[in-house]
């Protein structure tokens, strides 16, 4: 058996398509990797038996047309998967088995993919280090003591460690791009409405968006193509024709105008990140792109805005976990109110409680106008900033995160410093526009760092193409000694 | 008819108090499926058999607006002469309860689909306009069932997610009878439109009643109390009366009214406090991020407008003008769309004057007695028209007609058949009648002599005997003519 650990998703697709390798062989390979990778704690649930069965079924079929023929994939445990436990990283859904399949995962299986298992994540996707999961923290394959980022930390860790050839995550404020940046992988947050939210455990409905996490840009285009698409069951889904991102992928950057926002040059940013950013700018210049200095003046309010809007929506979205219908129910309490209090008190972790409290507070009467309404207004201003800039530039280049992966436990007692991790990623969610993070280099500790490309809504192809070109020039290499095995 | 004067004041030794009432009517939208899911809305199904994943708020489930419910709300708005808002927003009203699966109800808060409108009531003291503040769409909650087990509460989610229209009136109502007519008027309009069946027993129509009092002549409103969830017109009237009196008593004792939510206890016949203003829920309304603002095109509203049926007020005017009905008669005949339809079917081929009397007097008496809708009337409009025509043509007398009608009510039969089978046809052959008259006069020759000698009162006796001899079928006019002729001789 060849070493699939070096193979990208696209290569695996080609191997299976050309019948050089069977789906069963590939699936067994990843199952072995997963079994050897338990130390990383990136999986909450595995579905090996079912996956092997499906792979065999696939191998017995004569014809296959899908984009992901017989490819085994693990997905973030925020996607509801039919008959497979879906926890959202929370005790309150510890034993929840959906009777339905999320639209996005359904799309993947329709393209031929096979579910390998469910990946660990921060509880209800609330976190930037995957330390809030009820199922324990996830370890970054880059280093034993490092967080993988979050909330799609299990996805990033599993991908970087080759426990899955590609994966999908969700991104509410950076939950795909930040862990991608921390693990030396590629992650894309699509335009709000490009991927259906139906069947994804909701965190903040107006910000949540599913997206691909892959080893390279080509894979990213392929997976985005497979997972996206209009869905009548999601009222915020965009009704448009499916794009052929992988077919249209090219490296034409010449003549494109790239904006560099001065507001992203923040205080105390590590020099390495700044120089990496410069490196990115140089690469684009050399490729014939025009670099333009731009201003996104409301950027400084983005984080505060985000931490009002997202908790507000979350406080309401999480009200359904009350012990009445499904999920965890405390057996303590003499009446309905006490049952609620105990169920939610025991079922939710600290970070979730913190955000539910913040959200409840900013929506309450007397505070609504000062917080929630104001935040919505600022959100519009942030979007206007982007709209204005995209009249003169094709894409915006920024760092993905203000630091590389930090140590486990380093920020758990300092929520604000944890929240600051999202500073470069949240504006994009607030504006509903797409952004991709690609690995751009390492800091002096050898930890990967990412650069982010942002475009206007529905311009995914453009940032994929620019990223594709940059990827080639950067030639990012990451060799892990598989210490966890 | 002379107009009465409005006179609903609570009179005490010191003062005369005016009662101010505003209503929030919750009307269940007629729709096969729920407001945001495809589940059935049929009443009376087994518990939890009409519940989708959306209705029970499973993780990741999303609402999708049911366009038909939107149409129904717009139609109702048009029926209330109200402004249709082309831009409206669905908000979340957050609170915890076992029968509210999502922990929030999707409702409309600051931007309802329907704005200001008005309905007109025909009061004995003249017509009265009641302002509509707004109409908004919202989901119903499920039902908590507390009486099945001593230790447990059961939850039935069949109703969860069913579309409701909340119709909020201005504080324009001034008496229980105005409330009575207002609710009936709303119900009539919605039934005409087919937007709410108004069935209060099934909970399709219920109301929160806001009551305050002020001294007669005072311009400022008093502090109001809201009586929650009253589900019959009679209870609304009772609750208002009780609540107004309670408030007057407090005020006259020098106390103040606390703004609060109250319950009407139909068993104890009292209203009592449910929660004070301080205890009031903070619903933390905010726009539902799962739903985009609802934008409607004016052409869509115009299309619905074109398809609206003739509404009760218009129909009433037409009935008065075209059919020369009194306002009272017209009101009665338009009170239900099915009654008006019945009436118009009958008069297609029958005399209007006879038709309205037969419907309002005879038919309604029967329907009332048998507790039937006009839709289930044993006498079809066609049969009633035939009966009326039999009267008009002289085939049967009005008296015989009542007999025929009785049989029609019992059997549902056609009048012509009944008349034939029972031999009830009026005897109008002069020769036959003459024979009967001669026989009766012959049998009573002594009375004939008395008559001729001046005892003219006996005329009625002869008519009675003749009718008896003809089993009531003799044509009274002909009998009269012949009898007069014979007695002259």
- If asked whether residues B111 and B211 sit together in one domain, one would say yes
The reply to whether A364 belongs to the active site is no
**Which stretch of A331-345, A432-446, B158-172, B274-288 has the lowest confidence by average pLDDT?**
B274-288
b/e map of B394-429 (b: 16 or more CB within 10 Å)? ebbbeebbebbbebbbeeebbbbebbeeeebebbee
In a domain, B49, yes or no: yes
Domain with B465, as residue range(s), is 430-488
State the pairing for strand pair B154-156/B294-295: unpaired
Total domains, chain B: 3
Whether residues B479 and B454 fall in one domain: yes
Dist. CA A237–CA A197, nearest whole Å: 8
Q: Is B221 a member of any domain?
A: yes
Q: ipTM value of the model?
A: 0.96
What's the mean pLDDT in A369-387?
Answer: 97
Q: Is A241 exposed, middle or buried (0-12, 13-18, 19+ CB in 10 A)?
A: exposed
Residues B180 and B276 in one domain: yes
A100–B contact, CB cutoff 8 A: yes
User: What residues in A contact B104, CB-CB < 8 Å?
Assistant: 316, 319
In A14-61, DSSP assigns E strands to: 43-46
Tell me, yes or no, whether B4 lies in a domain.
no
Q: Is residue B289 situated within a structural domain?
A: yes
Let me know whether B350 and B296 are in one domain.
Answer: no
State the residue for tokens 């004067």.
Answer: B5
**Cross-chain residue pair A235–B291, CB shorter than 8 Å:** yes
Q: Are residues B196 and B52 in the same domain?
A: yes
Q: Is B475 found in the same domain as B377? A: no
What pLDDT is attached to residue A1? 46
Q: Which of B42, B45, B35 is nearest to B107 (CA)?
A: B35
Interatomic CA distance for residues B78 and B314, integer angstroms: 14
How far apart (Å, rounded) are the C-alpha atoms in residues B412 and A340? Answer: 60
Active-site residue, selected from the candidate residues A10, A151, A155, A400: A151
State residue A479's pLDDT score: 86
Q: Return the pLDDT at B398.
A: 84
Domain presence at residue B6: no
Say whether B64 and A93 touch across the interface (CB within 8 A). no
Number of residues that make up chain A: 485
Residues linked to residue A261 through DSSP beta bridges, in sequence order: A294
Residue A75 has pLDDT above 80, yes or no: yes
Q: Do B286 and B417 belong to one domain?
A: no
Of A232, A322, A324, the CB nearest to B64: A232
Ranges under pLDDT 70 in chain B: 1-3, 489
Report the pLDDT value the prediction gives residue B3, as an integer from 0 to 100: 64
Q: Is B314 within a domain?
A: no
Partner B contacted by A324 (CB < 8 A): yes
Residue B97 covered by a domain: yes
Interface test with B, best of A82, A90, A95, A322 (most B CBs within 10 A): A322
pLDDT at A213 exceeding the cut of 60: yes
The CA-based dihedral angle spanning residues A196, A198, A202, A208, taken in that order and rounded to the nearest 10 degrees: 10
pLDDT in tens, A165-210: 999 999 999 999 999 999 999 999 999 999 999 999 999 999 999 9
**B289 contacts on A by Cβ (under 8 Å):** 204-206, 236, 313
**Mean pLDDT, residues A93-103 taken together:** 98
Contacts of B98 in chain A (CB under 8 A): 322, 324, 336
Same domain? For B196 and B301 the reply is yes
CB-nearest to A320 from B64, B102, B292 is B102
The CATH architecture to which A1-485 belongs is Alpha-Beta Complex (3.90)
Shortest Cα distance from B141 to chain A (angstroms)? 14
Helix axis angle, B430-443 to B476-488, nearest 10°: 50
Shortest CA distance from B65: residue in chain A? A235
Between β-strands A448-454 and A435-442, what pairing exists: parallel, antiparallel or unpaired? antiparallel
- Contact by Cβ (8 Å): A297, A66: no
Residues B128, B89 within the same domain: yes
Residue pLDDT, tens place only, A254-264: 999 999 999 99
Q: What is the pLDDT of residues A43-61, one digit of tens each?
A: 999 999 999 999 999 999 8
Indicate which CATH number applies to the domain containing B465.
1.10.10.410
B212-231 pLDDT, tens per residue? Answer: 999 999 999 999 999 999 99
CA-to-CA distance for A201 and A210, rounded, in angstroms?
11
- A393 phi and psi angles, rounded to 5 deg: -130, 160
Task: Decide which of B257, B282, B305 is a domain's last residue.
Answer: B305
Q: Is A87 on the interface with B (CB under 8 A)?
A: no
- On whether both B162 and B22 belong to a single domain, the answer is yes
Instruction: Find the CB nearest A80 among B60, B284, B292.
Output: B60
Q: Give A72's contacts (C-beta < 8 A, 6+ positions apart).
A: A23, A26, A27, A30, A31, A51, A55, A113, A114, A115, A116, A164, A165
Same domain? B129 vs B188: yes
Helix (H/G/I), strand (E/B), else coil: B246:
helix
Give domain limits for chain A: 1-485
User: Residue B404: CB partners within 8 Å, gap ≥ 6?
Assistant: B387, B390, B396, B415, B418, B419, B422, B424
Please state whether the peptide bond connecting residue A151 to the residue before it is cis, i.e. omega within 30 degrees of 0.
Answer: yes
- Mind listing the pLDDT tens digit for each residue in B170-188? 999 999 999 999 999 999 9
Is there a catalytic annotation at residue A388?
Answer: no
CA distance A407 to chain B (A): 32
Chain Cα centroid distance, residue A157: 12
Final residue belonging to a domain, choices B389, B421, B453: B421
Q: Is B446 on the interface with A (CB under 8 A)?
A: no
* pLDDT for residue A86: 98
Contact B284 A316 (CB under 8 A): yes
Residue that terminates a domain, selected from B285, B305, B325: B305
Minimal Cβ distance to A319: which of B59, B102, B286: B102
Sequence-ordered strand ranges (E) for A376-425: 395-399
Quote the pLDDT of residue B457. 87
Secondary structure element (H or E) that encloses residue A30, with its range: helix A23-36
In this predicted structure, the answer to whether residue A463 has a pLDDT above a threshold of 80 is: yes
A196–chain B nearest CA distance, Å: 10
A151 assigned to active site: yes
Whether the CB of A95 is below 8 Å from some CB of chain B: the reply is: no
Residues B208, B117, single domain; the answer is yes
Q: Decide if pLDDT at A224 tops 50.
A: yes
Within a domain: B333: no
The predicted structure's pLDDT at residue A2: 55
**pLDDT tens figures, A384-411:** 999 999 999 999 999 999 999 999 999 9
């Amino acid at each position: 058996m060849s070493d699939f650990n070096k193979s990208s998703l696209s290569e695996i697709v080609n191997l299976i398509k050309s019948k050089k390798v069977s789906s069963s062989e590939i699936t067994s390979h990843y199952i072995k990797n997963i079994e050897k990778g338990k130390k990383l704690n990136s999986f909450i649930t595995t579905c090996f038996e079912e996956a092997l069965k499906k792979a065999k079924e696939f191998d017995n079929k004569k014809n296959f047309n899908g984009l992901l023929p017989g490819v085994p994939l693990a997905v973030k445990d925020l996607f509801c998967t039919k008959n497979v436990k879906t926890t959202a990283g929370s005790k309150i859904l510890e034993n929840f088995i959906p009777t339905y399949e999320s639209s996005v995962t359904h799309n993947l299986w329709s393209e031929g993919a096979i579910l390998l298992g469910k990946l660990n994540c921060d509880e209800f996707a609330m976190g930037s280090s995957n330390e809030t999961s009820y199922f324990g923290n996830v370890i970054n394959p880059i280093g034993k003591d490092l967080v993988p980022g979050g909330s799609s930390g299990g996805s990033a860790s599993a991908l970087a460690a080759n426990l899955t050839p590609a994966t999908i995550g969700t991104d509410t404020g950076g939950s795909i791009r930040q862990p991608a940046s921390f693990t030396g992988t590629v992650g894309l947050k699509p335009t709000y409405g490009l991927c259906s939210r139906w069947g994804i455990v909701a965190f903040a409905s107006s910000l949540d968006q599913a997206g691909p996490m892959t080893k390279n840009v080509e894979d990213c285009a392929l997976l985005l193509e497979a997972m996206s698409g209009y869905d009548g069951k999601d009222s915020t889904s965009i009704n448009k024709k499916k794009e052929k991102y992988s077919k249209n992928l090219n490296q034409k950057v010449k003549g494109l105008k790239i904006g560099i926002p001065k507001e992203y040059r923040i205080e105390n940013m590590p020099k390495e990140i700044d120089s990496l950013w410069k490196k990115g700018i140089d690469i684009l210049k050399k490729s014939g792109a025009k670099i333009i200095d731009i201003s996104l003046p409301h950027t400084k309010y983005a984080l505060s805005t985000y931490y009002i809007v997202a908790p507000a929506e979350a406080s309401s979205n999480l009200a359904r976990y009350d012990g009445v219908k499904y999920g965890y129910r405390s057996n303590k309490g003499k009446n309905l109110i006490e049952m609620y209090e105990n169920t939610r008190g025991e079922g939710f972790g600290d970070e979730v409680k913190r955000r539910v409290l913040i959200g409840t507070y900013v929506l309450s009467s007397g505070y609504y106008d000062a917080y929630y309404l104001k935040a919505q207004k600022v959100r519009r201003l942030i979007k206007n900033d982007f709209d204005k800039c995209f009249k003169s530039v094709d894409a915006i280049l920024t760092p993905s995160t203000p630091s590389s992966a930090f140590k486990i436990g380093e920020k758990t007692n300092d929520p604000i410093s944890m929240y600051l991790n999202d500073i470069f990623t949240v504006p994009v969610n607030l504006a509903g526009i797409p952004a991709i993070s690609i690995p751009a280099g390492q800091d002096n500790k050898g930890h990967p760092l990412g650069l982010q490309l942002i475009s206007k809504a529905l311009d995914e192809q453009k940032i994929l193409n620019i990223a594709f070109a940059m990827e080639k020039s950067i030639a990012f290499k990451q060799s892990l000694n598989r210490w966890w095995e | 008819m002379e107009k009465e004067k409005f006179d609903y004041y609570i009179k005490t030794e010191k003062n005369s108090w005016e009662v101010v009432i505003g209503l929030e009517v919750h009307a269940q939208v007629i729709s096969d499926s729920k407001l945001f899911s495809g589940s059935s809305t049929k009443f009376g199904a087994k518990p939890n058999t009409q519940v989708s994943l959306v209705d029970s708020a499973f993780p990741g489930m999303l609402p999708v607006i049911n366009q038909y419910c939107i149409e129904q709300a717009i139609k109702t708005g048009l029926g209330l002469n109200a402004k249709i808002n082309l831009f409206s927003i669905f908000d979340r009203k957050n609170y915890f309860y076992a029968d509210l699966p999502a922990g929030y109800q999707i409702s409309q808060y600051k931007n309802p689909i329907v704005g200001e409108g008005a309905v007109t009531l025909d009061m004995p003291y003249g017509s009265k306009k009641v302002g509509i503040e707004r109409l908004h769409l919202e989901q119903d909650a499920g039902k908590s069932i507390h009486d099945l087990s001593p230790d447990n509460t059961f939850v039935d989610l069949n109703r969860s997610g069913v579309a409701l229209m909340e119709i909020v009136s201005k504080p324009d109502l001034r008496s229980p009878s105005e409330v009575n007519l207002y609710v009936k008027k709303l119900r009539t309009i919605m039934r005409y439109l087919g937007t709410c069946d108004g069935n209060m027993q099934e909970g399709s129509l219920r109301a929160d009643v806001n009551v305050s009092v002020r001294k007669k002549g005072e311009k400022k409103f008093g502090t109001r109390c809201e009586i929650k969830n009253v589900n019959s017109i009679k209870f609304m009237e009772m609750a208002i009366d009780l609540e107004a009196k309670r408030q007057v008593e407090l005020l006259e004792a020098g106390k103040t009214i606390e703004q609060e939510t109250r319950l009407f206890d139909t068993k104890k016949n009292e209203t009592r406090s449910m929660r004070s203003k301080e205890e009031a829920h903070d619903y933390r309304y905010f726009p539902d991020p799962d739903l985009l603002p609802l934008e409607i095109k004016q052409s869509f509203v115009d299309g619905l407008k074109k398809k609206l049926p003739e509404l009760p007020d218009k129909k009433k005017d037409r009935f008065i003008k075209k059919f020369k009905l009194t306002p009272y008669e017209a009101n009665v005949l338009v009170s239900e769309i099915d009654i008006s339809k019945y009436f118009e079917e009958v008069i297609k081929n029958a005399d209007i004057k006879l038709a309205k009397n037969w419907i309002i007097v005879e038919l309604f008496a029967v329907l009332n007695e048998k507790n039937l809708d006009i839709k289930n009337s044993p006498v079809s409009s066609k049969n009633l028209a035939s009966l009326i025509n039999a009267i008009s043509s002289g085939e049967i007398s009005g008296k015989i007609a009542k007999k025929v009608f009785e049989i029609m009510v019992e059997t549902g039969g056609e009048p012509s058949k009944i008349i034939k089978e029972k031999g009830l046809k009026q005897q109008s052959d002069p020769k036959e009648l003459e024979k009967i008259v001669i026989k009766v006069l012959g049998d009573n020759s002594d009375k004939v002599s008395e008559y001729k000698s001046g005892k003219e009162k006996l005329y009625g006796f002869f008519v009675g005997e003749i009718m008896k001899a003809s089993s009531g079928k003799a044509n009274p006019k002909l009998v009269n003519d012949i009898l007069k002729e014979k007695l002259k001789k």
